[in-house]
């Protein structure tokens, strides 16, 4: 029989002005074993100690067992490890609990305009948190696809792997200085610096001419390293996110 205690609402607390959650409360809320939650946190810390240790702090509880305190960003990273769609409402509720606790008490607005401005600010903060959470879940799926892909992919295959329309990927490569298009020539070519850093490849192929003979065709291909960098850009590039919105609406 499971000894996990179910609780109905997320538990967060404030220490020196910082909103934190206890890994034991998180485990109980999501009906997970605490040792499995600790395992997921340890994997995050092991992946990059400099980055993750500022979001998690270990402490020893009665009996000599280990637990972790985590801030909001730490929780978002931890929740990204759990991919079940059934957990999405619970993850959102916990993120909202962090956001609510982070709102510092202020004096009542002097007028209606100030109140509306405050509401807009809180809504923007909520949308930011939701975008980061959704990006983490999407990131896991994209990186799984990248690791399963061939060593390099053509433009169309790369766009499918990154889950974006081909024209959006093409536009980003041109604007961000990855590739260029030569006048009178088909397709894109990778700039020397992107090839040097292993992000792109210009691969030569022989193709038959319409009236006989052969010609050299250069195909630009995106490497796994390039795909990984582009996947990160999907989260951090406001320009790329704006281009993706019309595509998603279609």
Reported as a single tens digit per residue, the pLDDT across 109-140 is 557 777 778 887 887 776 676 655 555 555 55
pTM assigned to the model = 0.40
Question: pLDDT for 180-212, tens place per residue?
Answer: 887 666 678 889 999 888 899 888 877 676 666
How wide is the angle at C-alpha 228 spanned by C-alphas 147 and 125, nearest 5°?
120
Q: What are the φ/ψ torsions at residue 143 (nearest 5 degrees)?
A: -70, -30
SS3 of 169, please? Answer: helix
* pLDDT for the residue 26: 93
pLDDT tens-place string over residues 19-76: 999 999 999 999 999 999 999 998 888 887 766 667 888 888 877 888 999 999 989 9
> What are the structural domain ranges in the chain?
13-147, 152-249
| Residue among 40, 50, 47, 125 at smallest CA distance from 80 | 40
Residue positions counted in the chain = 250
- For the chain, how far is it from start to end, CA to CA, in angstroms? 49
Specify the pLDDT at position 182. 74
Cβ–Cβ under 8 Å, residues 218 and 203: yes
Paired residues of 58 in beta bridges: 68
Tokens standing for 57? 């702090």
Query: String of b and e for 136-146 (b: at least 16 CB within 10 Å)?
Result: bbeeeebeeeb
Evaluate if residue 214 carries a pLDDT over 70: yes
Q: Where are the alpha helices (DSSP H) in the chain?
A: 23-29, 34-47, 49-52, 72-79, 88-102, 112-148, 155-161, 166-175, 192-196, 224-236, 238-249
Cβ neighbours of residue 75 closer than 8 Å, sequence gap 6 or more? 21, 26, 94, 95, 98
DSSP 143: H
Give me the pLDDT at residue 7, please: 52
Whole-angstrom Cα distance, residue 70 to residue 29?
Answer: 15
Amino acid 121: pLDDT: 84
**Amino acid 95: pLDDT:** 92
């Amino acid at each position: 029989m499971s000894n996990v205690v179910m609780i109905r609402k997320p538990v967060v607390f404030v220490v020196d002005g910082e909103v934190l959650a206890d890994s034991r409360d998180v485990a109980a809320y999501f009906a997970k074993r605490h040792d499995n939650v600790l395992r997921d946190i340890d994997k995050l810390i092991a992946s990059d100690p400099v980055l993750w240790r500022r979001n998690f702090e270990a402490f020893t509880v009665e009996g000599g067992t280990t637990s972790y305190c985590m801030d909001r960003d730490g929780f978002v990273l931890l929740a990204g490890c759990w991919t079940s769609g059934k957990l999405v409402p619970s993850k959102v509720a916990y993120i909202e609990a962090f956001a609510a606790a982070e709102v510092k008490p202020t004096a009542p607005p002097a007028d209606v305009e100030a109140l509306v401005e405050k509401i807009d600010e809180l809504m923007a903060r909520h949308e930011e948190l939701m975008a980061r959470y959704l990006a983490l879940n999407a990131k896991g799926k994209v990186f799984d696809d990248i690791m399963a892909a061939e060593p390099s992919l053509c433009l169309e295959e790369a766009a499918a792997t990154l889950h974006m329309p081909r024209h959006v990927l093409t536009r980003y490569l041109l604007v961000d200085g990855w590739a260029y298009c030569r006048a009178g020539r088909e397709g894109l070519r990778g700039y020397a610096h992107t090839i040097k850093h292993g992000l792109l490849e210009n691969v030569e192929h022989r193709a038959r001419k319409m009236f006989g003979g052969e010609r050299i065709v250069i195909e630009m291909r995106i490497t796994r390293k390039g795909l990984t960098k582009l996947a990160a850009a999907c989260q951090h590039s406001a320009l790329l996110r704006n281009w993706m919105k019309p595509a998603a609406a279609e």
